A = this chain, B = another copy of it.
Amino acid sequence: MFRKVLIANRGEIALRVICACKDLGIQTVAVYSEADRHSLHARFADEAICIGPAKSTRSYLDIPSVISAAEITDSEAIHPGYGFLSENSEFAEVCDACNVKFIGPTAAVIRRMGMKHEARRAMQEAGIPILPGSEGTLKSTEEGLEIAHSIGFPIMIKATAGGGGRGMRVVRDASEFGPMLAQAQNEAAAAFGCGDMYIEKLVERPRHIEFQVLADEHGNVEILGERECSIQRRHQKLIEESPSPAVSPELRRRIGDGLKVAMKAIGYTNAGTVEFLMDEDGSLSFMEVNARVQVEHPVTEFVTGVDLVKSQIRIAAGQPLSEVLPANIEMRGHAIECRINAEHPETFAPSPGRITGWNLPGGIGVRVDTAAHADCIVPPYYDSLIAKLITYGGDRTEAIARMRRALDLFIIEGIHSSIPLHQRILAHPEFVAGNLDTSFLARTKLACSK
């Protein structure tokens, strides 16, 4: 096992990794920007190194600074968390070159999964259902239009390097195809430095369902059930749960078996998430692979009893899944996560500032992952997630009741938070009934989708 791990991240996920390391008896090194000088991840790590100014390109995203911090502290491994450098294959490569273990998949796998059309091909080869679309990237507008006609409008134009909705366009009519493609291409080229595009059939009002993968470095793969993440606003997940109300045990087993084959074929290692869309008939189609720990991993931890972050570290240390996981993993009960953001619950305007009043909900069935506290400052430089509120119950009804109660007892003063929006969603009959899809917020008028 590693003696010392550096956590190349901030906020709740940095604290989450510190907890996992403490539970394993591993020493921790935090890195922080000048804006995070007083943050809890810097406080609770055994060592903490300032790596740059507030701007993340000069601190959390700056590979030489992070690697140097690992070197001067003699860290044996780096956990990248999510976001920042977590899916940066170059970073994974530099770690290798510097003899620091990157806790995640290999650089080659990260790169391949980052090229969406490549991941799509890999899944298709392993028999995982994918959406009708182009094979590989588009060579020309004409070829694209032809493919679009053959699968039928509406379609999605997507950037192979895309993410967060950028470089993505819905095209409902052939006449829009040319201009939309050009727009998306420009956007992708500007955002990702790569204008390669591909086409997929559009699923209207899909459910977003994703499967949790753990793979060791000895060729073993396990699937830890699925999460439903259909409550989104502008491709940003707001609420996630496990299991999905729409996935039957039979479907879960079938997709899980397919993914075991696929991920093994890809040579996948460590934790990852395979995202699917579910159409109105209940069919799943592959969307993409997230080659890192997911924000919403706690719901899976609640229902499986498996500590995913601890598992990541143990896998990276070379342990086989047979040691990392219990003999048989059964999903038990139901878990829901609300992402509590520092933003106005109606306008969604970011709301950084000082938290003047703060009461965390506790009690039975409640877990909170946060690095915020009374009198802390939420800096304006990073993402707005300030806490993850996760509840567990024997069934979905109990998990919902506990989430409502926990939201009522969660006090945040001094800044705006998304708690009022979460309260409205949790009280909505459609949510309670499990009638979810990615248009939920728009069609229920709980928030504009734009």
A residues engaging B (CB < 8 A)?
A: 15-16, 19-20, 22-25, 40, 44, 298, 301, 305, 307, 309, 326, 333, 358-360, 362-370, 373-375, 394, 398, 401-402, 404-405, 408-409
Contact = CB atoms under 8 A, between A and B. Distances in A.
17 contacts: A16-B364, A20-B364, A22-B401, A22-B405, A22-B408, A24-B401, A25-B401, A44-B408, A44-B409, A301-B364, A305-B333, A305-B394, A359-B373, A360-B362, A362-B367, A362-B369, A363-B367
A333 B363 CA distance: 19
A311 B409 CA distance: 22
Contacts of A15: 363
A23 B402 contact: yes
Contacts of A394: 305, 326
Contacts of A359: 40, 373
B23 A401 contact: yes
B367 A366 contact: yes
Contacts of A298: 364
B363 A369 contact: yes
Given A358-B373, A362-B367, A19 B326 contact: no
Given A373-B374, A374-B375, 17 more contacts: A16-B364, A20-B364, A22-B401, A22-B404, A22-B408, A24-B401, A40-B409, A44-B409, A305-B394, A307-B365, A358-B373, A358-B374, A359-B373, A360-B362, A362-B368, A363-B369, A366-B367
Contacts of A44: 408-409
A19 B364 contact: yes
Q: How many copies does the complex hold?
A: 2
A304 to B, nearest CB: 11
A302 to B, nearest CB: 9
Nearest to A389: B362
Contacts of A373: 358-359, 374
Contacts of A401: 22-25
Nearest to A21: B405
A365 B398 CA distance: 18
A347 to B, nearest CB: 28
A366 B367 CA distance: 7
Nearest to A398: B23
A363 B305 contact: no
A363 B402 contact: no
Residue picked from A359, A363, A367, A405, most chain B C-beta under 10 Å = A363
Contacts of A370: 362
A375 B19 CA distance: 26
A24 B367 CA distance: 20
